[in-house]
Structure 1
């Protein structure tokens, strides 16, 4: 197998599969969306990491005795085209790395990550990737059947909660701000206190 060690060796307008993705060994973090390369933002800010860590600890504690599994980036999620994909590497054209995801069907988890839609995905936006998350990934997660999708705006201290309806379309269940408490839709007894999530670090 020939490995690609420089992203400039690739045609950024080309179409690639997960089989190609497995041969890439360059430093630039990327996602593959419907065969197209999307460069990810540089290393997350401390605010992004703090918010992500707070979600992970809170949800992880909730899921301790659950069959569902919690993962955070970097973690490859291979999403299947419902019409085309046969789960073979060369038939998968989308590989994303959500900030946080919950997967309740263990058959979707293998040594390389997840194949198929997680049950819940959380994306924490950075100034450089908000357009991608709000448009591209919204449509992608909806199409793939991700049951619940949270979009978090750290600088504004806002969370938007989207839930897949019976027509397999996302509905905005609600928007929540920094001092509100809400419950996950697919886990009704999972309560999130956003004042804990968005708590600012003390300055010394």
Structure 2
């Protein structure tokens, strides 16, 4: 029996939807979708722009090089991150996202299907497909689920915002741009010179 594909509706005021990770596994959408509080969000209307891919590739390359030989691992989209509440049963997981980049330092959170639990670092790279609704919901999700650090990179403006979890709440940096040297609190010792990072990305 063929599974009915649900409609994608990004309704910002809807508190909870009806779908679970078990449903998500049965879908075959042309676009990438994510689940936040059981509601379906379309990640992007089309393939990311070239500049998005350059930023993603360069940052993941630098993170991977820094973490070589360490227990933390770097993954790039498409890669499912599931946030269970009380149960890891697929039918009871209602939050599934595909961050552009994530770093996981606890190997117990990794399985054949991705990550189950909060990554230490999540990076989202903005593109025309990102909506304010998506970013607002993700901010709340990552904060509530204990993601230690959340980066939002705007590749065309060449700037970066970092949210760091402090006593269960995110604290944000000022807008960081060329001339700033970023130091991660979640990935100890990792630094990023933004002028050097963005100089060959256009």
Same fold per superposition (TM over 0.5): yes
**Residue 20 of structure 1: aligned partner:** 23
Q: Mapping of 1:127-146 within 5 angstroms?
A: 127-146=128-147
User: C-alpha distance in 1, partners of 2:8/2:49?
Assistant: 26
Deviation at 1:186, TM superposition (A): 2.0
**Any idea what the Cα deviations from partners look like across 1:48-99, whole Å, max 9, x if unmatched?**
0001111001111000011011100000000123xxx301000000110000
Q: Mapping of 1:1-204 within 5 angstroms?
A: 2=1, 4=3, 9-12=5-8, 15-41=18-44, 42-81=46-85, 85-166=86-167, 168-200=168-200
The 1:178/1:3 distance shift into structure 2, 3 A limit, reads: farther
Deviation at 1:133, TM superposition (A): 4.7
User: C-alpha distance in 1, partners of 2:170/2:7?
Assistant: 33
Backbone CA RMSD of aligned residues: 1.8
- The normalised TM-score by structure 2 is 0.89
The 1:151/1:60 distance shift into structure 2, 3 A limit, reads: same
Structure 1 regions of 5+ residues with no counterpart? none
8 Å CA contact 2:184–2:191 kept in 1: the answer is: yes
SS at match of 2:56: helix
8 Å CA contact 1:71–1:100 kept in 2: the answer is: yes
SS at match of 2:189: coil
Deviation at 1:139, TM superposition (A): 0.8
Structure 2 regions of 5+ residues with no counterpart? 10-16
Deviation at 1:156, TM superposition (A): 1.1
User: C-alpha distance in 2, partners of 1:132/1:63?
Assistant: 33
Number of aligned residue pairs: give it: 194
User: C-alpha distance in 2, partners of 1:177/1:3?
Assistant: 49
SS at match of 1:10: coil
8 Å CA contact 1:70–1:100 kept in 2: the answer is: yes
8 Å CA contact 1:3–1:23 kept in 2: the answer is: no
Which stretches of structure 1, 4 residues or longer, exceed 3 Å deviation after superposition? Answer: 11-14
